[in-house]
Structures are given as C-alpha cells and as structure tokens.
Structure 1
Amino acid sequence: MNQAMQQLNETRAALSAAMHNKDWDAIGELDRVCREQVEVAMQDAGRDEQALRDTMEQLLALYGELVKVCTAQRTAIGEELTAVRRSSQGAKVYQMFG
C-alpha cells in the first residue's frame, strides 16, 4: 500500500473514532484532511485501483454513518432547545402572576 493510501486509511480510522466520541471539532478537521487525501490518492499514478476502490467504499459507508449520527445529534439539540424555550416561557408566566 502506498503512502497516500496509508494516510487516507489512517485518517478514515481517526474520523471513525472522532465520530464515535462525538468530537465535532475533530470531525470537521478530519473531514477537510480526508478530502485532500482523497484527491492526492486519486491523482497518484502508481495507485492500486482495487485498494483505492475498497477505501472509497469504506469512506462512503463511514460518511453514511456520520450523516446518521449528525442528524440524530441535530434532533437532540432541537429537542433540548424546545424544552429550554418552554421552560423559559413557563418561568415568565410564573413571574407575571407570582
């Protein structure tokens, strides 16, 4: 496996770990690095087509999972904001009549 593919696989593993830890800052940075490394791997004249295809399929699966995690997180944050808003409105009503 050439260096570009090795780096891409290492970044994919780090991105997976960041996703499982819900480390959103790391995910953002690793996503940027991953996109750069995909470009480098695609331009490598000596690339192993099958290894690249396998890695790209693994990345596709990881990004699919990442979208699900992000959607769930967004939903949870939305629910928290709704609860905070209701709580705040209840406190205002209580203060008006208290």
Structure 2
Amino acid sequence: MTKSVQLLEAAGAMLRDALNRRDWEAIGVLDQQCRQAIDEAMDEVPVDEALLRTRMEDLLALYRELVECCRNEQQRIAGELLQLNQAKQGAKVYQLFG
C-alpha cells in the first residue's frame, strides 16, 4: 500500500470519527487534510489502482454522508431560530399588553 493510499485511509477514518462526534471544527481541518491526500494520490503513479479506486470511492461515500448530515443540521438550526423568533415576538406582545 502506497503512502498516499494510507493517507487517504487515515484521513477518511479521522473524518468519519469527527462526523460521528459532530465535531465541526475538526471536520473543517480534516477536510483540508483529505483534499491534500487526494491531491497527493492523484500526483502519484498508483501501484495498486484498484485499492486507490476503492479508497476514493469510500471517501466519496463519506462526503455524501457528511453533506447529508450538514443539511440536516442546517434544517435543525433553522427550526430552532424560527422558534426563537416566534418566542421573541410573543414576548413583545406580552410586554405590550402586559
């Protein structure tokens, strides 16, 4: 296994762990590491092309999962903001008539 394939594997494992913990800061840092590992893998002549393809496909699936998780988190936060704004409006009405 080449160094670039090992880097892809390690970066993917750390990214998955950060995603499971919902550690968005770590995900940002690890995203950069994954991009760098991909660049290195693309520049290197693959010794085992099938293994490299498998690691890239695994990483692609992980990124799809990450995007879906981000969408869900965005929707959750939007719902919380909506509830907060509604509560704020209710408090203003209460103060006005209270």
TM-score using structure 2 length: 0.96
- 1:35-58 deviation line (CA, Å, top 9, x unaligned): 111010111124421111000110
Contact 1:41/1:47 (<8 A) preserved: no
Percent of aligned pairs with the same amino acid: 45
Contact 1:8/1:37 (<8 A) preserved: yes
Moved segments of 4+, more than 3 Å: none
Contact 2:46/2:52 (<8 A) preserved: no
Give the length in aligned residue pairs: 98
SS at match of 1:45: coil
Structure 1: give runs of 5+ residues left out of the alignment. Answer: none
Structure 2: give runs of 5+ residues left out of the alignment. Answer: none
